[in-house]
Amino acid sequence: MEGLATLIIGLLIRFGIPIALTLIVVIFLRRLDARWQSEAEGQIAERGSLLPQVRCWVFNDCPQEERDRCRAYAEADTPCWQIFRDGNGRVREKCLDCDYFRSVPIPTPMRSSLQEMPK
């Protein structure tokens, strides 16, 4: 009987502790994700959108024929400089020199989530 109790305790220690720790980490990550989602929704509510209010084709006064051929016009939910990245994922020099790109406000980072975490 004592051997069976030792075996059960050993199995609980071997499997129970890692499972409990994994569950704690999962719960923590889900709460953190929910918090980040609510912060992002709040940021969108503040600004109305994470995208610039004036689109590049309006800013640059592009004619309708040019808009119809433009990928940025077709994918209006994505900033134009994201669409026209080069093969390595870098923003093109043409975009960096563009007045529209320079006029868009730089997103402000939110306070560090680690500083706000409850203890």
Domain boundary pick from 50, 65, 91:
50
28 lies in the same domain as 43: yes
- Is residue 74 within 8 A of residue 56, CB to CB? The reply is no
pLDDT at residue 4 in the model = 92
70-109 pLDDT, tens digit per residue, is: 988 888 888 888 888 888 888 888 888 888 888 877 766 6
Q: Are residues 72 and 56 in the same domain?
A: yes
Same domain, 5 and 46: yes
> How does residue 14 score in pLDDT terms, banded at 50, 70 and 90?
very high
In a domain, 114, yes or no: no
Residue 84 lies in domain: 52-104
In the prediction, which pLDDT does 106 show? Answer: 72
Domain contains 75: yes
Question: Tell me: the pLDDT tens digits for 22-79?
Answer: 999 999 999 999 999 888 887 766 665 555 667 888 888 899 999 999 988 888 888 8
Collapsing DSSP to helix, strand or coil, 41 comes out as helix
Residue type, 26: V
